[in-house]
Amino acid sequence: MKKIGILIPAFNEGSHIEELLRTIRSLTTIDINVFDDGSDDETYLIAKKYADNVYKHEINCGKGKTLLDGIKKMQGHYEYAILMDADGQHRPMDINSFIDNDYKKYDIIIGKRDMNFKNMPFDRYFTNRLTTLITSIFANTRTYDSQSGFRMVRINSILNLPIKTFKFQMESEMLIKAGIMRMKIGKTKVKTVYGDEISKINPIKDTLRFIKMTLEVLWL
């Protein structure tokens, strides 16, 4: 079993994913796993050219579901997964920040971005600060950057979490449940990058989903 693999969930990222995969390939020999979440563009075909393993949902199931299914596929083959978004916001050169962070001490390491008004759109900044605060309260531990999709996870630990959400709020639920189960959560600094990508997060719908998820955690 290999120690570390990279997992990239992707939905209609044909305009970004080739550059991302080529750059990762040029910087590291770590296996790349791509899970195409029902794309109707060339995402899957591009991934097949560069990734070690490529999986695909026939229909779009949501980022959370794609991450969980990808982690399940990796179980037994890797001990840890470095999770990255496919839209170019996560810099491949920051992968070593996780590996150099004594990762064996943690179940989850969050790629903590330097969030401020200069390098982050206001709506994302406000939503992230709010959800991170609430996530930390419910997890009873500091979670640093709850919406950061750039993170390193111990695969067996994550698959022991009773995850119930399958959209973007799953990443916050992961931290809440990990905190409740007293798993070790750490952080490492990563750069914040915003280019021409369009966020798939709906500020209203996904915030409401987040609130619903936290209320369910509170009452269950």
The domains of the chain are located at 2-219
The predicted-structure confidence for 156-170, as pLDDT tens digits, reads as follows 999 999 998 887 788
Contacts of 115 (CB under 8 A, 6+ apart): 125, 128, 129, 145, 192
CATH number for the domain whose boundaries are 2-219:
3.90.550.10
Q: Looking at residue 132, what is its pLDDT? A: 81
Q: Looking at residue 77, what is its pLDDT? A: 97
Backbone angles phi, psi at 164, to 5 degrees: -125, -5
Separation of alpha carbons 174 and 203, rounded Å = 20
Separation of alpha carbons 212 and 210, rounded Å = 5
Q: Looking at residue 126, what is its pLDDT? A: 66
**Strands 78-83 and 108-113, bridge-based pairing:** unpaired
- Which residue, among 50, 49, 41, 52, has the nearest Cα to 15 in the 3D structure? 41
Q: Looking at residue 193, what is its pLDDT? A: 75
Q: What angle do CA 56, 39, 80 make, to 5 degrees?
A: 45
